[in-house]
Amino acid sequence: MCLLALCLPAAARADDSRTFFAMDTVMTVTVPGGSEALLSACEDEVRRLEALFSVTDESSEIARLNAEGRAVLSDETAALLGGALDAAALTDGALDVTLYPVVRAWGFTTGDYRVPDDGELAALLALVGWQQVTLEDGEASLPPGVMVDLGSVAKGFASDRLAALLRGSGVTSALIDLGGNIYCLGAKRNGSAWRIGVRDPDGSGEYIGVVAVTDKAVVTSGSYERFFVAKDGTVYGHIFDPATGRPAESGIVSATVIGPCGFQCDALTTALYVMGLERAEALLETLEGVDALLVDAEGELWATGGLRETFTPMGAYSAAAIHWIR
């Protein structure tokens, strides 16, 4: 959705890739020289994880936890929920998987969009707060009315699982695109880095530039990916500020994170979008092994030093000055 593989390997045939709809988005897995069986295994793996994590599928572990307030979780669901709670602590609650009652009230789960009034939001915000989730020895529990949604991290987690599955099958080169949560396994078969385009958050479909990566995830969060326009013309995006219960307006309009763990990148992009520049910079100063590219509301670019060699701005941004964070 937000990112596109600009250059597929010249040798890639249509049957080297599989496109399918899962986790509410279009996914494409490309394995140059890969077999049908391998691509099917990837699709099956995503569907297996979706059946565990989906908030709307009543039989999923997360839906059961939400309905019953308590559930014994599989190792994978417990790992993902635990990781999301750790990320909430790291980001001072900017990532908060208990936002679900708020996100649902705005209609983002059903498409029946509406703007809740202040009273409704205040009541719903009382149900929000990641510290309310208890997870011990694989058993999770929630106070009445509190609900979790792992949608902000599930695709990144799934991309890590697919990379592990493919590596375990001896694959050394693949491109996993789970609705813009991209994982580049190895390099392209000709040995050059994968080149991943980062979308212009203005919604034009253009790119602000390209990052060259091997063996890393590239994940972007931006409200241009999913939003609705109210009758008065106000645009409401799908990433919420847990402090207000309203779509975040932090001054960051797009956050891209590049690093070895798709889950971590997915968690961080959502959080950085909410945090705004000052908090985002402070967090990025403390994180090693990941790079970030932020676009602010004025169209200025902010990036960490690892991108000096690997990011090439393009189009309207080709001459843009980049503010370096570290």
Q: What minimum distance in Å lies between the beta carbon of 114 and ligand AMP?
A: 16
- Closer of 248 and 303 to ligand AMP (Cβ): 248
Q: Which two tokens stand for residue 82?
A: 């635990």
Binding to Mg ion by residue 270, rule CB under 5 A? yes
DSSP 287: -
Query: Which of positions 10-49 make contact with Mg ion (CB under 5 A)?
Result: none
Query: Which of positions 151-190 make contact with Mg ion (CB under 5 A)?
Result: 152
> By CB under 6 A, how many residues form the interface with ligand AMP?
19
239 binds, among ligand AMP, Mg ion, none (CB under 5 to 8 A by kind): ligand AMP
**66-74, 162-170, 232-240, 286-294 -> range binding ligand AMP (CB under 6 A):** 232-240
Binding to ligand AMP by residue 245, rule CB under 6 A? no
Selected binder of ligand AMP within 29, 49, 80, 108 (CB under 6 A): 108
Binding to ligand AMP by residue 3, rule CB under 6 A? no
Binding to ligand AMP by residue 284, rule CB under 6 A? no
Q: How are beta strands 70-72 and 25-30 bridged, if at all?
A: unpaired
Selected binder of ligand AMP within 186, 201, 209, 242 (CB under 6 A): 242
CB neighbour burial string for 29-47, b if at least 16 within 10 angstroms, e if fewer:
bbbbebeeebbebbbebbe
Sign of CA dihedral 198, 264, 252, 95: positive
- What is the rounded distance in angstroms from the CA atom of residue 219 to the CA atom of residue 264? 10
66 binds, among Mg ion, ligand AMP, none (CB under 5 to 8 A by kind): none
Q: In sequence order, which residues have a C-beta less than 8 Å from that of residue 282 and are 6 or more positions away?
A: none
**Type of residue at 247:** P
> By CB under 5 A, how many residues form the interface with Mg ion?
4
238 binds, among ligand AMP, Mg ion, none (CB under 5 to 8 A by kind): ligand AMP
198 binds, among Mg ion, ligand AMP, none (CB under 5 to 8 A by kind): none
Query: Which of positions 78-107 make contact with ligand AMP (CB under 6 A)?
Result: 95-97, 99, 103
Binding to ligand AMP by residue 38, rule CB under 6 A? no
Binding to ligand AMP by residue 160, rule CB under 6 A? no
Selected binder of ligand AMP within 173, 221, 250, 304 (CB under 6 A): 221
- What is the rounded distance in angstroms from the CA atom of residue 205 to the CA atom of residue 253? 15
| Residue among 117, 146, 95, 102 at smallest CA distance from 245 | 102
> By the 8 A CB rule, do 31 and 174 touch?
yes
> By the 8 A CB rule, do 81 and 95 touch?
no
Cα–Cα separations (whole angstroms), residue 112 to 41, 214, 229, 234: 34, 40, 12, 16
**46-54, 162-170, 263-271, 307-315 -> range binding ligand AMP (CB under 6 A):** 263-271
Backbone angles phi, psi at 201, to 5 degrees: -70, 0
Q: In sequence order, which residues have a C-beta less than 8 Å from that of residue 103 and are 6 or more positions away?
A: 109, 149, 238, 240
The footprint of Mg ion (CB under 5 A) covers 152, 266, 269-270
The site for ligand AMP (CB under 6 A) is made up of 95-97, 99, 103, 108, 149, 151-152, 221, 226, 238-240, 242, 266, 269-270, 274
